[in-house]
Amino acid sequence: MIDAEDRLFLRAQLTDFSLFFLLLLTHSCGGQSGPPQPIVAMIGDEIILPCHLEPTADAVDQTVEWTRPDLNPRFVHLRRDRVDLLDEQHPSYRGRTSLATNKLKCGDLSLKLSTVKLSDAGTYKCLIPKSGRESVVELVVGSVSSPDIDVSRVSNGVVLDCKSKGWYPEPEVLWLDGEGKLLSAGPTETVRGPDDLYTVSSRVTVEKRHSNSFTCRVQQKIINQTRETQIHVSDDFFMTQSSSSVRITISLVACFMCFLTVALLVWKNNKTKMQEESKMSNNIERQLLMEEQRAREHLMTEHEKMKYLDTAKARADEELQRNEEELQHVKGVISTLTGQKTDLKKQREKVTSLLPEVM
């Protein structure tokens, strides 16, 4: 029989062993709470979206759902009956998500997401439907690039033009001198491209100073990213106002002389061209007069021909009229002679009939 004292001792030993086993299991599985702050990733990165069961439990046979409520279908990754169901996964995530199956027994449901895209930004939910356990992870996706600086001279100093492409979210641009003090610059110009990435540019005019070193800093506080480029402008690059005025005056004089030369050449060219055009115009006018004279002569000849034909036609008409009149007269004579012949025939027959009586 185990007395009460031995029973208490044994219970204490079992409790200590259980605590030791639980701590050992937690340590071997790496159990820990996910970070409350958002996960920040750059475009093209490979990241882990954390999710752990607390207390630690084996999830190998559990259904695991990774979803984004704003998508349709909403599944980013779905595992059921130890199989990844790719047919129910949102098309934009296919081939880019996976679970570490060797860690599921330790309750690690973290999702690996590769080749991060700008569209991946959003709120993700990790859920075990059977137990109702759920955790939420916010993913922020960013993109950065180093700025470039162009230098140009103006009358009152040097203009520095800073430009940086491929940022997300929209960043801000700052100008600093060699001592790290902010410079007063014009407003930042921002352009959003078809890929939703931002291009920012800023311009500042500076004068000669002790260090002549200047820095363009582009920063994005949401993703905690900063890129900057420093430039040193040599003393020779800065021009004084007087030398600048002399150069401008010389340039203006040279431009004026060029303008006069060009104007003279144009005037001479136009004058020669006008003379040639005048000569050509005179030749054309002479040719037109000759053609007009030929046309008149031709018209006169045609007129005379028409007049002659009209006269001939009139004569022919008169002759035809006379012939028709003579024909009518002949027809009358013939008709008269025919009547007389008929009368003579009748008289002959009458005389012939009277001859027997006389005999």
* pLDDT value for 241: 44
User: What's the whole-model pTM score?
Assistant: 0.55
Give the highest mean pLDDT range of 300-309, 334-343, 346-355.
Answer: 334-343
Q: Look at residues 181, 254, 176 and name the one whose alpha carbon lies nearest to residue 219.
A: 176
CA separation for the pair 65, 79 (Å, rounded): 7
Reported as a pLDDT band with limits 50, 70 and 90, residue 36 is low
State yes or no: pLDDT of 359 exceeds 70: no
Judged by average pLDDT, the poorest of 87-96, 119-128, 218-227, 269-278 is 269-278
Reported as a pLDDT band with limits 50, 70 and 90, residue 357 is low
* pLDDT value for 262: 85
Q: Is there a contact between 121 and 41 (Cβ–Cβ < 8 Å)?
A: no
State yes or no: pLDDT of 119 exceeds 90: yes
Query: Each residue of 244-281: pLDDT tens digit?
Result: 555 667 777 788 888 888 888 888 888 787 888 777 87
Q: Look at residues 339, 358, 359, 336 and name the one whose alpha carbon lies nearest to residue 347.
A: 339
What integer is the mean pLDDT of 54-62? 89
Q: Which residues contact 188 (CB under 8 A, 6 or more apart)?
A: 172, 173, 200, 201, 202
State yes or no: pLDDT of 38 exceeds 80: yes
Query: Each residue of 163-209: pLDDT tens digit?
Result: 999 999 999 999 999 888 899 888 999 999 999 999 999 999 888 77
SS3 content of the chain, % helix, strand, coil (to 5): 45, 30, 25
CATH code for residues 29-142: 2.60.40.10
Asked if the domains at 29-142 and 148-239 fall in one CATH topology, the answer is yes
What integer is the mean pLDDT of 333-353? 80
| Side chain identity, residue 221 | K
Q: How far is CA 3 from the centre of its chain?
A: 91
Residue that wins the pLDDT comparison between 216 and 357: 216
* pLDDT value for 243: 53
- Which DSSP letter does residue 33 get? P
* pLDDT value for 223: 92
Count H helices and E strands in the chain, helices first: 2, 16
Superfamily of domain 148-239: Immunoglobulins (2.60.40.10)
Domain extents in the chain: 29-142, 148-239, 241-335
DSSP string, 297-317: HHHHHHHHHHHHHHHHHHHHH
* pLDDT value for 252: 79
What is the helix (H) or strand (E) element at residue 113, kind and residue range?
strand 111-113
